[in-house]
Structure 1
Amino acid sequence: MIKVMFFAHLREQIGTGEIEINSFKGTVKELKEYLQINHSLNNLDSIMTAVNEEFCHDETMVDEGDIIALIPPVSGG
């Protein structure tokens, strides 16, 4: 099982701050594709991703027990 945490507009879009996914094995990119198909999340290409509190790339492997955070770009002034 992996835990996926959502922030900002992603949290609003999915309706919760986190979900658990059983038996996922693949890359961060494959996880984003899974979320787009199964949870109707859009435009995840520009989202920053952290695995176990370390920022990573789409090629990073997701392993059983990992905690993934999806962090949209923020702006302010």
Structure 2
Amino acid sequence: MGILLFGAAKDIAGVPVLEKPAHISDVAALKAWLYEVYPSLQQLKSMMIAVNRAYATDEQTISQQDEVAVIPPVSGG
């Protein structure tokens, strides 16, 4: 399954979905890969990763079947 991107993360990458590289096995590795490929994502200080619709810690493992989403900071008003 792909990596879903929302808001500013989608704008930075220029696409709504990325293919997850096979070597990525946890959230920390995913973040490192995203920051390497899209350095501007580092500006999103409170960017969260969700795995199967639940916020995940850096230690959370990721499989090819998991739904992964990149959720940038949101503001309301």
Instruction: Give the percent of matched residue pairs that are identical in Structure 1 and Structure 2.
Output: 32
Normalising by structure 2, we get a TM-score of 0.82
Q: Which moved more, 1:40-49 or 1:12-21?
A: 40-49
List alignment gaps of at least 5 residues for structure 1: none
Q: Which has the higher strand share?
A: 1
Q: 2:71 corresponds to which residue?
A: 71
Amino acid at match of 2:63: D
SS in 1 for 2:37: helix
Runs of 4+ in structure 1 displaced over 2 angstroms? Answer: 38-42
Amino acid at match of 1:49: I
The residue correspondences of 1:13-52 to structure 2 (distance < 5 A) are: 13-43=12-42, 46-52=46-52
Cα distance change of structure 1 residues 10 and 16 upon mapping to structure 2, 3 Å threshold: same
C-alpha contact (below 8 Å) 2:12/2:38 kept by paired residues: no
List alignment gaps of at least 5 residues for structure 2: none
Distance 1:45 1:74 in 2: 11
Structure 1 residue 66 displacement after superposition: 1.4
Q: Which has the higher helix share?
A: 2
